[in-house]
Amino acid sequence: MREIDALLQRHSVRNYTDRKIGPEVLEKLGVMIDDCNRAGDLHLQLLKDAGKTFSRLLNRVMGLGSAPSVIICAGRESDTLEERIGYWGEKVVLRAQELGLNTCWAGTFSAKNAPVKPVEGERAVIAIAVGYGADQGRPHRSKTIEQVTSGRADRPAWFTRGAELALLAPTAINQQKFELRLNDDDTVTAVDKGGPFSKVDLGIVKYHFDLAREEAGLPKFWDGMK
């Protein structure tokens, strides 16, 4: 499966079966996590047993308490930490989809109850539930391209495609609070318009947009994000 096909197929899943993830799949996902940790200067940690990471009442009501495994997304504190977690974490999410797994970005996880020791100087920003879903999820309601773009009127096809893929990005409470501005020099400025976890969301949006650039045979804008 191509990465962009995984993007098109993937939806957030909040209810999971009790099927455990096998060692071969965990190893393949772990390789991707190691690669993304190096590329993004992060500390994403795959835990085979999610333990009580999703023990909060809201998580249990949503179904996330059934997720067998979890990825704790952490890193050294910096102005770009949340955005980098979104960017490189989404690459991991799409790899999980390629491996037949389902995922859900979860900001309401319990960092204290996660079966992992905190590292001094690092912050756990968000978690990703991982497992085999009771279903494959469903598409979220979406804004239009016109609502999330601005700038030059003569827009190349890669920009429109990038906006289309950006609108498929999972965002906290489906807020889609971002803007993509096409500049006169063919660069793109991605704007965070605020809201819960909006910086993580912006990183995910940037990753989706970069896949459109790659699909068009063009260099990615943000894959050197550190």
Tokens of 156: 């190349």
Superfamily for the 3-131 domain: NADH Oxidase (3.40.109.10)
Give dist(CA 170, CA 185) in Å, integer.
Answer: 29
Task: Give the pLDDT score at 60.
Answer: 62
Q: How far apart, in whole angstroms, are the C-alpha atoms of residue 84 and residue 67?
A: 24
The dihedral sign for the CA sequence 199, 204, 205, 209: positive
pLDDT tens for the chain, 226 residues: list them: 789 999 999 999 999 999 999 999 999 999 999 999 999 999 999 999 988 888 765 566 566 888 899 999 999 999 999 999 999 999 999 999 999 999 999 988 877 777 887 788 999 999 999 999 999 999 888 999 999 999 999 999 999 999 999 999 999 989 999 999 999 999 999 999 999 999 999 999 999 999 999 999 999 999 988 7
Look at residue 115 in the predicted model and tell me its pLDDT: 80
Tokens coding 44: 């994403």
124's CB contacts (< 8 A; 6+ apart) are 72, 73, 74, 111, 114, 118
In angstroms, the CA 162 to CA 67 distance is 31
**pLDDT at residue number 188:** 97
Hunting for tokens 């704790």 — which residue is that?
72
Judge whether 178 and 205 are in contact, CB under 8 Å: yes
d(CA 80, CA 61): 32
What are the domain boundaries of the chain?
Answer: 3-131, 145-215
SS3 readout for 66-94? HCCEEEEEEEECCCCHHHHHHHHHHHHHH
Q: Does the reported pTM lie above 0.75?
A: yes
Q: Cα–Cα distances in Å, from 26 out to 20, 35, 37, 101, 166?
A: 10, 14, 16, 10, 28
pLDDT of residue 221: 95
